Amino acid sequence: MRCPYCGSFDDKVIESRTMANGESIRRRRECISCGYRFTSYEHIEEKQFMVVKRDGRRQPFDRTKLEKGIERALEKRAVSNTEIDNIVNDIQDKAVMKGKISNEITTRELGDLVLEKLFETDKVAYIRFASVYRHFENIDEFIQEVKNVGGLG
């Protein structure tokens, strides 16, 4: 580690302490060249969970974006903020488990997880989300989806 005072790469660790429930280590160091003492932190760098878009682009998973989409579908429905938070947590957990090996999930898989959870929670929210997510081409597709949800199709 480079000394912030003199720039030397020669130092020794004086003390190490585990921090944040084992998530990081704090090390007190002393520069052998000039005697300056400084602190460094070490933590595990996890690979960021990614979402693979329909066109193949990858972007970092954005919980806020997921939450906004679900809130939009559940707007003016009898679902509390706590329930919405629980829904988002559940979907995020399932998404991470589904993409555990590759550390990524497709937008299709993520959308299907949202639809599954909204179907359990609120059928109107399910239809709202499905109409945007599935890009219904015409009113017949929309009516067919409503019939499927209502058990009429």
Give the residue-averaged pLDDT of 112-118. 93
Give the residue-averaged pLDDT of 82-89. 90
> Computed from CA positions of residues 62, 65, 67, 73, in that sequence, does the dihedral angle turn out positive or negative?
negative
User: Has residue 153 got a pLDDT over 60?
Assistant: no
Q: Which of 8-17, 41-50, 119-128 has the lowest mean pLDDT?
A: 41-50
Give the residue-averaged pLDDT of 11-23. 86
Give the residue-averaged pLDDT of 110-126. 91
Mean pLDDT (the chain, rounded): 87
Residue 152, pLDDT score: 47
User: Has residue 52 got a pLDDT over 90?
Assistant: yes
3-state secondary structure of 15: strand
Residue 22, pLDDT score: 78
Contact 141, 115 (CB under 8 A): no
| Cα Rg of the chain (Å, integer) | 24
Residue 138, pLDDT score: 67
3-state secondary structure of 24: strand
Residue 99, pLDDT score: 86
- Render pLDDT for 53-62 as a digit per residue (tens, 0 to 9): 989 999 999 9
The C-alpha angle with vertex 110 and arms to 135 and 88, in degrees rounded to 5, equals 110
Q: What is the DSSP letter of 21?
A: G
